[in-house]
Amino acid sequence: MDVILASASPRRKELLSLIFETFRVIPSEFDESLVPGDLPPKEHVVYSSLMKARDVAARHPDSLVIGADTVVVADETILGKPTDAGDAGCMLRLLSGRTHQVYTGFTVVYGGIERTGHECTDVTFRELSDEIISRYIASGEPMDKAGAYAIQGKGAVLITSINGDYFNVVGLPIYKLSSILEEFGVEVLGG
C-alpha cells in the first residue's frame, strides 16, 4: 500500500513513522485561509485536514492519504503561527499561567472513502515573565508553530501539565489515527 502524508511538518513525519516504515511526504497545496472563519475549533481542524487530504488524493487516487491540521485555542480564539516576534510575544503572554486547548483534525482518504477524526488536549502553561518570553522568542522556535510554542522542543519548559494525548499537541493523535487506519485494513504493529 502506498501511503502519503499530506503535510510538510517534520513532527508529523516523525510521528507517522511510528505506524509506517515507509511512506511518502507530499504537502498539500490547499490554502488554509480558505477555511471558513466562523467554524468552531474542532470543525476548523477537521475541515482543513479533509481539504488537505482531498487535495493530495486527487493527484494520487490509488494511495492512502493522511491529512492533518493542528490549532491552539485560548478563549475560543484560534492561535495560528505568529506573523512576527511581536505576535509570538502576544500569544505567549495570552497563554501564560493558563490552560488552553490544542485541537488536531485528521483525515484518511483511500479507495474513494474518507474518514475524519479529531482530538483535543488541555495544556497548562506556567507564569511566563517577559524575560522568559524574550529568550524563548530569541531561540527562533516559536515562529513556525501554532500558538508560538513547541511542546517537543524548548517550549517544554513553559508547560506545567497536559491532560490528554501528548502526540496530539505535537501534531498527530497517533492512537485515534491508528484506530481509523485499522478500518482501512492497516495492521498497526503488524510488522
As annotated, the active-site residues are 69
For residue 61, give every residue at least 6 positions away whose Cβ sits within 8 Å of its Cβ, in sequence order, or none: none
| Residue 191 identity | G
Pairing of strands 113-125, 77-79: unpaired
Cα torsion 124, 126, 131, 132 to 10°: value is: -60
Query: How far is it, in rounded angstroms, from Cα 168 to Cα 62?
Result: 28
Query: How far is it, in rounded angstroms, from Cα 191 to Cα 181?
Result: 15
Contact 69, 82 (CB under 8 A): no
